[in-house]
Structure 1
Amino acid sequence: ILLLLIVATVGVEVKRPHVVFVLADDLGYNDIGYNGRSHHSATRTPFLDSLARNGMILKNYYTHSVCSPTRGSLLTGRNRIHIGLQHDCIHGTQIEGLPLDNVLLPEQLTHCGYNTQMIGKWHLGFSSESYLPWKRGFRGFYGFLTGSENYWSKHTNAVKHSKVKELKGGIDFTDSDHGPTNATWGKFSSLVYAERAKHVISNHDKSKPLFLFLSLQTPHSPLGAPAKYYKPFRKIKDKKRKQYLSMVAALDETVRNVTSYLQDAGMWSDTLLIFSTDNGGNVNEGGNNWPYRGSKNTMYEGGNKAVGFVHGPLLGVGSRGHHNMEQLFHVSDWYPTIMEATKCQYIAEEHKRKLDGYNQWDVLRGRAVSQRYEIVHTLDPINRTSEVADVQYGFDVNVQAAIMNERWKLLTGNPGCMGGWYPPAEAKELVAAIDIRGNKTIQLYDIVSDPLEQYEVSSLYPAVVKELLERLAYHNSTARPPISRASDDKNACLRWADGYIRPWR
């Protein structure tokens, strides 16, 4: 008797974690409690501190130095130079947006069965509907499309490159299910976003995983917060600093409320929470990066060295309690890291090959060593110190660029304004130091022995300069042309005639 044994392969459904990614806006290195306590800051973020203490704090975490490039890098897994965002942000009346030939992280996660929801700030272009977040992978969007707006009225002024007089602003708030709306008028945006998160969480089908991108407005300017947040800072004399820290306190409460909603829904124990800022603090608007040098939109550490941590049981036993990751981590690494943490397959293998980010999931769990050894902060051919090229080792050093590895950091061209060292306003015993760059178009810093970038050493290490300039020349050969140019479209105002910001092409 011939016995045929038929083995049936039964598909086992993978249990995927909920992922909540909280992105703060312009939160400086010294503006979160666990850093600020050691650096004379009056900031208070007790809930964020508690999450970080019981998770993994990223000690050498870098974003890009300004809004749109970081957001684009996060959602594409690619460096700003490969998505055309090496020059400035995407402005409200600009035709271009995040290039459509990229498959965004929410598209991958939607394909994997996630309910992908975005709340808050987009800032990646919206001139046509194809650029909108709910056309790029998010099942739902509730927030604003430009780079900044009034926290209560949701009104924004059109940011103008070319000073077209016809361009005007309007109400910038959209519910992807119902279109532009002023239903949130008069409510502080942090409260609006927390309420929306509660709605999303309470209406979520618990049998499916949730990806919630909470892209908060706080503490970006314009400055101001509800009165209750000012009380701990009433003794601070500097008005902007007081306002800013009040907004940071509101940020802390927002995250606390959202985690409470997850707990009430029985989802918290299955949630991986990632917290990040989009760039360094803006020292002209109350932010602080002390003791590091520089501000938002500079190539110094104060512009790029970011606040970041991960929290959740999925990290494993080894990460319980206060734990630090000392290895390099870049914002572009979140894409492949989240894909690995969720056990999601890429829609196509070619999408994975295009990524610049590294999968750091096992590194976060203490099971591997990071493969990242280098970060390109920018390479901006539009921002130049001279129209006359000064090519050294294949790279024009008049171009604004910055590259770092585990020890060295090289800057060329103009590294940006506000290149000094700025203590928090509440620390009266500390004195600011001015930018000491002079006319140098090449700067080299040993960020291991000199993390504050006080000693420029390019003349002492010419071989290192040569090596890093050659690396910049290589990366320049792979870069996409910048999309951010002086391209205001005056036709935008025709579409906004009813007072609402929306696509116009």
Structure 2
Amino acid sequence: MSGRYQIHTGLQHGIIWPPQPHCLPLTDPTLADKLKEAGYATHAVGKWHLGIYKKACWPTQRGFDSYFGYLTGSEDYYTHSRGCGMPNFPTCKKWNGLDLYENEEPAWDYKQNYSTFLFVDKAKDVISAHDKTKPMFLYLPFQAVHGPLQVPQSYKDLYPNITNKARQTLLGMVTCMDEGIGNITQHLKQEGLWNDTVLVFSTDNGGQILVGGSNFPLRGWKGSLWEGGLHGVGFVSGGIIPESRKGVFSSELIHVSDWFPTLVKGVAGWDLNGTSLDGFNQWPTISQGASSPRMELLHNIDPIFNSSSKPSMTRKEPVSFDQSIRAALRLGDWKIVTGNPGNGSWISPPEDGTPSVHPDEPASKNLWLFNIKEDPYEYFDLSESQTDIVKKLLGRLDFYYKGAVPVDYPDGDPNCDPAMHNNTWSSWE
């Protein structure tokens, strides 16, 4: 939504919890702002999770003409309510409230409507009501397949041979979402919009193995800096895509921040004035097969991970990057990982029968180097044999570290209590 690395938004650490007085910085335009500026109708349906503490942070004030969905990070798929769950903030332990909104008003009338069905229906409504004389941007971040694991029984029944209940439910959730995307695609065709459509589908992170996910044979999972946590897959479809590019597999280096300039500059043909982006326009790569303009990709630098200190990046400039800091960077085929990257096991899906593998590494180890092209599963650490490459990549991490803004991870605010806001999760400033 911002086209920027986390180090340039203050969001390097964790997520935005509902009680935190914080949101995606208001100083920079969003993807929706720029497309609206270009004359697009802009609509969002689904998950926001970019901060709620003041109305200025909400979708309808960040460039979207309309919004239907939930503002925080996870909730019940049927009741559309949630608790708090913020670590180290026991004040909110018993809080609970509705988080479902139509524009800026609580949407109370949808309880027991499964969210995937609901969001598909709302997306179809947006498409049907669209003024076809102008272009449209529809942002649809599904709740699926995020936890909690919930799906109608009929979708679980499609996988009778999967005995692991979490895995069976997750597969049902994927199938339900896939069905919904197919229904939306069909609706675009019925409305005569498909031939002018660019449809982007992408993951946002690796699967969470603790709730049925699997990234095997990649290493690690959601929340880690291993490929199983970071390596996303996706596809681009639609009538605008040239026939010669349909069905083509690409392994070019593309980062989530690239969607901003790709859609604004590449697809909409609009300028990027007023932005300061880390992303690249990948439209020639997608539509023509050109090489990616991206040679380097910063996964993240989180200086307070596993730290009890207050969020701060103020310290003496290092001679070289501090390897104890949690970070990862890709330069060409090389990937460097420092600090504590999270569990690095190779976990096979329950139905596979392949034994999982757990690395035998000292707890003090805080530096790894991999050639991802030759070793996509991160089996072979080359940090001791390729010292010149290590030095070069540490230098790039140091460059980014020095240009980072301070981490913004504030304490929870008791004024967020849903009981103070008609039992809803809402703004309080």
TM bracket (short chain): over 0.9
Q: How does 1:290-309 map to 2 (within 5 A)?
A: 290-309=216-235
Three-state SS of the structure 2 residue aligned to 1:383 is coil
5 Å matches for 1:31-430? 75-166=1-92, 168-176=95-103, 179-320=105-246, 322-346=247-271, 349-351=273-275, 354-383=276-305, 393-416=319-342, 418-428=343-353, 430=354
After TM superposition, give the deviation of residue 392 of structure 1 in Å: 7.2
Aligned to 2:358: 434
Greater strand percent: which structure? 1
What SS class does the counterpart of residue 76 from structure 1 fall into? coil
Per-residue CA shift, 1:274-309, capped at 9, x if unaligned? 000110000111111111000001000000000211
Match of 1:503 in 2: 427
SS at match of 2:90: coil
1:472 matched to 2:394? The reply is no
Displacement after TM superposition at 1:493 (Å):
1.0
Judged with a 3 Å threshold, the aligned counterparts in structure 2 of structure 1 residues 166 and 312 are, in CA distance, closer, same or farther, namely: closer
- Distance 1:110-1:437 versus aligned 2 partners, 3 A rule: farther
CA distance in 2, matches of 1:270, 1:166: 47
Q: C-alpha displacement at 1:227, in angstroms?
A: 1.2
Which moved further from structure 2: 448-457 or 212-221?
Answer: 448-457
Give, in whole Å, the separation in 2 of the partners of 1:157 and 1:402: 32
Please tell me the residue identity of whatever aligns with 2:414. Answer: K
Mapped partners of 2:299, 2:349: distance in 1 = 25
1:116 & 1:85 partners in 2: Cα distance? 25
Q: After superposition, what is the alpha-carbon deviation per residue over 1:223-261, rounded to whole angstroms, capped at 9, x for unaligned?
A: 020011112211211111111111001110110111121
CA shift in 2, pair 1:266/1:225, >3 Å: same
Return closer, same or farther for 1:313/1:341 CA change in 2, 3 Å cut-off.
farther
- State the SS of the aligned residue for 1:410: strand
Cα distance, 1:198 vs structure 2: 1.4
> d(CA) in 1 for partners of 2:318 and 2:356?
34
Change (3 A) 1:141 1:436: farther
Checking the alignment, whether the CA contact within 8 Å between 2:42 and 2:65 is kept in structure 1 is yes
Letter in 1 for 2:376: P
- Report how many aligned residue pairs link the two structures: 422
Q: Do the aligned residues in 2 keep the contact of 1:104 with 1:136 (CA within 8 Å)?
A: yes
Q: Using the alignment, how far apart are the partners of 2:337 and 2:161 within structure 1?
A: 39
Q: Distance in 1 between matches of 2:318 and 2:215?
A: 32
Residues of 1 paired with 2:288 and 2:319: CA distance? Answer: 39
Q: Is the 8 A contact 2:370 2:380 kept in 1?
A: yes
Match of 2:408 in 1: 483
What letter is aligned with 1:427? D
* Counterpart-to-counterpart distance in 2, 1:496 and 1:242: 39
Runs of 5+ unmatched residues, structure 1? 1-74
Q: Which amino acid aligns with 2:286?
A: L
Change in Cα spacing, 1:393 to 1:152, as seen in structure 2 (3 Å) is same
State the one-letter code of the partner of 2:260. Answer: Y
Q: Retained in 1: the 8 A contact 2:206–2:231? A: yes
373 and 164 in structure 1: CA distance in 2 versus 1, 3 angstrom threshold: same
Distance 1:211 1:494 in 2: 32
Is residue 84–residue 92 contact of structure 2 (8 Å, CA) maintained in 1? no
> 1:318 Cα shift?
2.0
Q: Secondary structure at the match of 1:212?
A: strand
Counterpart code for 2:279: G
The structure, 1 or 2, with the larger RCO (C-alpha pairs under 8 Å, 6+ apart) is: 1
Contact kept in structure 1, 2:145 and 2:173, CA below 8 Å: yes
1:386, distance to aligned residue in structure 2 (A): 10
Shift of 1:393: 4.7
Q: Is the 8 A contact 2:418 2:425 kept in 1?
A: no
Structure-2 separation of matches of 1:424 and 1:301: 16
Structure 2 residue runs of 5 or longer lacking an equivalent are 310-314
C-alpha RMSD of matched pairs (Å): 1.8
After TM superposition, the score normalised by the length of structure 1 is: 0.81
Q: Is the 8 A contact 2:267 2:283 kept in 1?
A: no
CA–CA distance in structure 2, aligned partners of residues 251 and 316 of structure 1: 26
Percent identity over the alignment is: 36
1:170 counterpart letter in structure 2: G
Structure 2 CA distance for partners of 1:159 and 1:447, relative to 1, 3 Å: same
Tell me the amino acid that sits aligned with residue 57 of structure 2: Y
Contact 1:395 1:472 in 2 (8 A): yes
- Taking the aligned partners of 2:175 and 2:191, their CA distance within structure 1 comes to 25
Normalising by structure 2, we get a TM-score of: 0.94
Structure 1 residue 456: Cα displacement: 1.1
